[in-house]
Amino acid sequence: MSQATQAAPETATETVVAPKPMRAGPMGPWAVIVHNDNVNTFDFVIRCLREIARLEMNMAVTKTNEIHHEGASQVTHTHREHAELICERLQGRGLTVTVEPA
């Protein structure tokens, strides 16, 4: 009596390597947070986010809505010096902005 053996079909497995999380610290990720105010218009905030934070139009509109409805929004994250530069430039336009470790 012979037994037929069946080999299991080979399946290709793909190894996915997750990117290393950035570490917080002086050169790690820092968040630029824009806070809601009752002074600036939607159009003005959108224009500032496009010009200074370099956001695409759709993202600038999304972030502006989030600022209005949620009270604040993280508009970008970058290294500390760049985050502080963006913060200062947005503050110079009259927006309420903070920089926090991400």
Mean predicted confidence (pLDDT) in 86-102: 97
Tens-place pLDDT, residues 14-39:
555 554 454 555 556 999 999 999 99
Of residues 79 and 26, more confidence is placed in 79
Q: Which CATH number fits domain 30-101: 1.10.3720.10, 3.20.20.60, 3.30.70.890, 3.30.1390.10?
A: 3.30.1390.10
Q: What is the rounded average pLDDT for all residues in the chain?
A: 85
9 pLDDT band, cuts 50/70/90, is low
| pLDDT score of 102 more than 70 | yes
Cross-strand pairs, 7: none
Name every residue whose Cβ is closer than 8 Å to that of residue 27 and which is 6 or more positions away in sequence. Answer: 79, 80
Mean predicted confidence (pLDDT) in 64-73: 97
CA–CA gap between residue 18 and residue 4 (Å, rounded) = 42
CA–CA gap between residue 44 and residue 88 (Å, rounded) = 16
The packing angle between helices 42-51 and 57-70, to 10°, is 130
pTM for the whole thing? 0.73
| pLDDT score of 84 more than 60 | yes
Domain segments of the chain as ranges = 30-101
Torsion of Cα atoms, 64 then 68 then 70 then 72, to 10°:
60
